[in-house]
Amino acid sequence: MNRKYSLKKNHEIAALFKNKVSVGNRYYVIYYKPNTLSIPRIAISVSKKYGKAVTRNYEKRVTREILRNLIQTLPNYDFLVIIKKGVSTLKFSQKKDQLQYLINKIIKTGVQE
C-alpha cells in the first residue's frame, strides 16, 4: 500500500476511537471517520495478545495487501482496522471476503454524526 494511504499520527488514531463509529465481525473491527482529503487513509492494529511478533506482522501484511487491492472502492475516510484473534484460521480469500463485507457495510450506512 502506498505511503500516502497510511494513517500514522497518534492523535489521528485516537480521534477514530473518540468518534466511536465502527463495524465489526468475528475477525475484524473497523473504526472509521470521514476525512477532508481526497484519499482514504488506513491504520492496522493487532493486539500483543495475538501470538508472537512474526504472526502479528504476517496478519498485518496480509490485511494491508487486501486493502491495497480494495483501495479504489474505499470512501474518503480514515480507517483503523483491528485484527482479532480468530483470523489466523481463515484462508486469504476468506479474509478478503470478511473485509469486503465490512467495507460494503460502511459504504451502505455512511457515517452518523
pLDDT digits (tens, 9 = 90+) for 33-81: 998 888 999 999 998 888 899 999 999 999 999 999 998 888 899 999 9
Angstrom distance (rounded) from CA 91 to CA 72: 23
What are the φ/ψ torsions at residue 18 (nearest 5 degrees)? Answer: -65, -35
Angstrom distance (rounded) from CA 97 to CA 21: 21
* Res 93: pLDDT: 95
Angstrom distance (rounded) from CA 82 to CA 31: 8
Fold of 3-109: Ribosomal Protein S5; domain 2 (3.30.230)
Domain boundaries, the chain: 3-109
> What pTM was computed for the model?
0.88
pLDDT above 70 (res 113): no
> Which uninterrupted H or E stretch holds 48?
none
Average pLDDT of the residues in 73-101 = 93
